[in-house]
Amino acid sequence: MAFDFILPDLGEGIAEAEIRKWLVKQGDLVKEHQSVVEVETDKAVVEVPSPKGGTVLRISREEGETVKVGEVLLIIGEAGEKTEAPRAAVEKPKPAERPKSVTVIGELPEEEEEVKPAVAARPKPAPAVQVEKQGAGFLAAPAVRAFAKEKGVDLGKVKGSGPGGSVSREDVQKAMKQPARADEETVVERIAIRGVRKAIAKNLLLAQKTTASVTETDEADITALWEIRASQKKVLEEKGVHLTFMPFIIKAVQHTLMDFGSFNASVDEEHEEIMIKKFYNIGVAVDTPDGLIVPVVRNVEEKTIRALAVELQDLSAKARERTIRLDDLKGSTFTITNYGAFGAVFATPIINYPDVAILGTGKISDKPRVKEGQVAIRKVLPLSLTFDHRVNDGAGAAKFLTRLVAYLEDPAAIFIESA
């Protein structure tokens, strides 16, 4: 018996997905749990496996189409088995042709022919206001044309709402208040808000509406950290590992969160409770052609700097290629975003809801600092901490940043577990 394979629930509240690529074709034999289609959600690109083996009798949707959860993707059954033909598109009924002798306002009759009425003749309606056809295919009364000319409105670009599509004075007035769409299209590119960009818009708006966000800033002298990274970068590169500052920052954040647990939390809105988490899953924003994606590095407290570097490299590549798993995009307890890579210094990052805090790191630059009574040029990292004021206040945020700066300025402390 033919089996309708529908788009399954992909989790995370995903209601629809776009078909990116079919991995099978009609007539192919598929096995149970074999991936048959690649779909793109607002979070990631996912391969969807078939829950049943058999022959692909029909593929119901085209690549590029958006399919809602529960809609049929393809039909699987026995070779040669008949399936219901897809329903044909419903065509709109064509309007009845007008008798050639009937005169429409603003048009001239093509020829005079006697048309015998099918029913008794009706009284003639009162004569309508004369509407003339002007230019290329629009209708307007002389008074309307004069008004449009006075106001500088091109009637050829005005959609008429009157009889037979004629342009009224109100149509002209409406056109005066709106930009000319035809002209606009030559200088404006319209891009549909969909996929990752749609998810970003939705989540950030939710965060702004739900949290009481405040941002505090500070700077860290990371000269010692700079030297450590420089000494280890080449060693790890020979082993295929690209070492950035992010693993060190993640580890410093983890230690700081162990000292200030209220920043590693979320709010249970229903029960009005703050849930402080005893595990450390750090989300790291990754810039992709489709927008920001936030992979999550789990259980940071159990991982070394090198292990973090390897995992970050892998997750970042998958995020940019849109091959990352949905499980790798959820469950963060705190988030870090590095806009310094693009030259920015300070910012007010938006919390990655339902986290209650996010750290932004700016561009590292050379600045004069007093060191042991002497002015010296040091490597300085700008920091911006946005936090939910419902959970933490300004004093707590200042203490958090001070502790974080201490870890970054004394990298040896990063490797010492807190008591």
Catalytic residue among 33, 242, 271, 389: 389
How many angstroms separate the Cα of 381 from the Cα of each of 32, 324, 338, 384? 52, 30, 11, 10
Beta-sheet pairing, 3-6 with 16-22: unpaired
First to last CA, the chain: 63
**Dihedral sign for Cα atoms in the order 21, 26, 29, 33:** positive
| 17 beta partners | 67
Tokens 């002007």 appear where? 134
Task: Give the CA radius of gyration of the chain.
Answer: 33
389 an active-site residue? yes
Buried-exposed string 38-76: b where 16+ CB fall within 10 A, e elsewhere: bbbbbbbbbebbbeeebbbbbbbbeeeeebeeeeebbbb
Q: What stretch of H or E contains 125?
A: none
Q: What stretch of H or E contains 371?
A: strand 365-371
Catalytic residues: 389
